[in-house]
Amino acid sequence: MKKKILTGDRPTGKLHLGHYIGSLQNRIKLQSTYDQYILVADLQALTDHFDHPEKVTQNIIEVTKDYLSIGIDPDQTTIVVQSQIPEIAELTVYYLNLVTLGQLNRNPTVKYEIQQKGYSKSIPAGFFCYPVSQAADITLFQAELVPVGDDQLPMIEQTNEIVRRFNKIYHTNILKECKAVLSKTSRLVGIDGKSKSSKSLGNAIALSDPPDVIKKKVFQMYTDPDHIKASDPGRVEGNVVFTYLDAFHSDQEAVADLKAHYRRGGLGDVVIKNILNDSLQRLLGPIRAKRDSLDTNMVKEILHYGTAKAAQLAKATIEMVREAIGIQSF
Q: Please report, as ranges, the residues that interact with ligand ATP according to CB under 6 A.
A: 9-10, 12, 18-19, 22-23, 148-149, 151-152, 186-188, 196-200
Distance in Å, CB of 257 to ligand ATP, minimum: 26
Distance in Å, CB of 101 to ligand ATP, minimum: 23
- Contact between residue 66 and residue 38 where contact means Cβ atoms under 8 Å apart: no
Which residues lie closer than 8 Å to 310 by C-beta, 6 or more apart?
37, 78, 80, 85, 141
In DSSP terms, which residues pair with 16 in a beta bridge?
206
Q: Which is nearer to ligand ATP, 46 or 314 (CB)?
A: 46
Phi, psi of 186 (to 5 degrees): -95, 5
Distance in Å, CB of 152 to ligand ATP, minimum: 5
Q: How far apart are CA 157 and CA 131, in angstroms?
A: 10
Residue nearest to ligand ATP according to CB distances in the complex: 22
> CA-CA distances (angstroms) from residue 71 to 4, 38, 215, 299?
19, 13, 24, 14
Distance in Å, CB of 317 to ligand ATP, minimum: 22
Q: Which is nearer to ligand ATP, 199 or 288 (CB)?
A: 199
Distance in Å, CB of 98 to ligand ATP, minimum: 23
Q: Which is nearer to ligand ATP, 52 or 168 (CB)?
A: 52
Q: How far apart are CA 183 and CA 78, in angstroms?
A: 22
> CA-CA distances (angstroms) from residue 110 to 48, 50, 134, 158, 226?
12, 17, 12, 12, 35
Q: Which is nearer to ligand ATP, 200 or 274 (CB)?
A: 200
DSSP calls for 132-145: HHHHHHHHHTT-SE
Query: H-type helices in the chain, by residue range?
Result: 17-19, 25-30, 42-46, 53-70, 86-96, 101-106, 108-116, 125-128, 130-140, 153-169, 211-220, 240-248, 252-264, 269-292, 296-325
Q: Which is nearer to ligand ATP, 9 or 42 (CB)?
A: 9
User: Which residues of 111-214 form beta strands (DSSP E)?
Assistant: 145-147, 179-181
Distance in Å, CB of 199 to ligand ATP, minimum: 4
Q: How far apart are CA 125 and CA 118, in angstroms?
A: 14
- Contact between residue 187 and residue 23 where contact means Cβ atoms under 8 Å apart: no
Q: Which of 70, 71, 67, 55 is nearest to 13 (CA)?
A: 55
Distance in Å, CB of 194 to ligand ATP, minimum: 12
Q: Which is nearer to ligand ATP, 201 or 311 (CB)?
A: 201
Distance in Å, CB of 105 to ligand ATP, minimum: 20
Distance in Å, CB of 81 to ligand ATP, minimum: 15
- Contact between residue 223 and residue 234 where contact means Cβ atoms under 8 Å apart: yes
Q: Which is nearer to ligand ATP, 198 or 279 (CB)?
A: 198
Q: Which is nearer to ligand ATP, 72 or 148 (CB)?
A: 148
Q: Which amino acid is at 186?
A: S
Q: Which is nearer to ligand ATP, 187 or 261 (CB)?
A: 187
